[in-house]
Amino acid sequence: MLVPRPGFPLYQVIAESHGARVVHYDLMPDEHWECDLRHIERVILELEQRTRVGSTSGKLVVQQRRVVRGIVINNPSNPTGSVYSERHLCEILDLAKKYRIPIVADEIYGDLTYGDAVFHPLVNVASKYRKVVPIITASGLGKQFLVPGWRVGWLVFYDGGGGALR
């Protein structure tokens, strides 16, 4: 699981408690804390493993094994407060599609933005630009209504008609 750095520390705790390996990708402070897409791509390529399997005919068959099972995108970001532009979200979706990696979109702070920042839900961007990428969106009421004691949340599963979530 690819997780942003800096990021909410509970992502790593939850993923590792379920047996997932967590690898961090960088956010760029000089670029409004956007995801460093080049770094994400390098991490993906480094993690991809090739497994050689001997066949009965004596030839070696090389199979690609997908190691990265998901990318966590936290928008608006905790702890930076940054809000990703629609353009940047499209670039994230393109990268996820290229490597066939689902996205876990933590959008719990979607209603809490600073200044004139505009929050774009990732599923809306994917639908608008016909980006067929599986997305699991997490959100809830506690932050939206400023009641931190409320533990009411939900997950929305979206695959843009690609059937990847079936």
| Residue 92's CATH number | 3.40.640.10
Can you tell me the mean pLDDT for 82-106? 97
Percentage above 70 pLDDT, the chain? 86
Whether 59 has a pLDDT exceeding 90, the answer reads no
Can you tell me the mean pLDDT for 54-72? 71
Q: Is residue 30 situated within a structural domain?
A: no
Q: How many structural domains is the chain composed of?
A: 1
Whether 51 has a pLDDT exceeding 50, the answer reads no
Q: Is residue 152 situated within a structural domain?
A: yes
What DSSP character marks residue 114?
A: -
Q: Is residue 150 situated within a structural domain?
A: yes
Q: pLDDT value at position 118?
A: 97
Q: pLDDT value at position 147?
A: 86
Q: pLDDT value at position 56?
A: 54
Q: What end-to-end distance do the CA atoms of the chain give, in Å?
A: 20
Q: Supply the angle between the helices 37-47 and 86-98 in degrees, to the nearest 10.
A: 10
Q: Is residue 53 situated within a structural domain?
A: yes
Q: Which domain holds residue 88?
A: 48-158
Q: pLDDT value at position 163?
A: 65
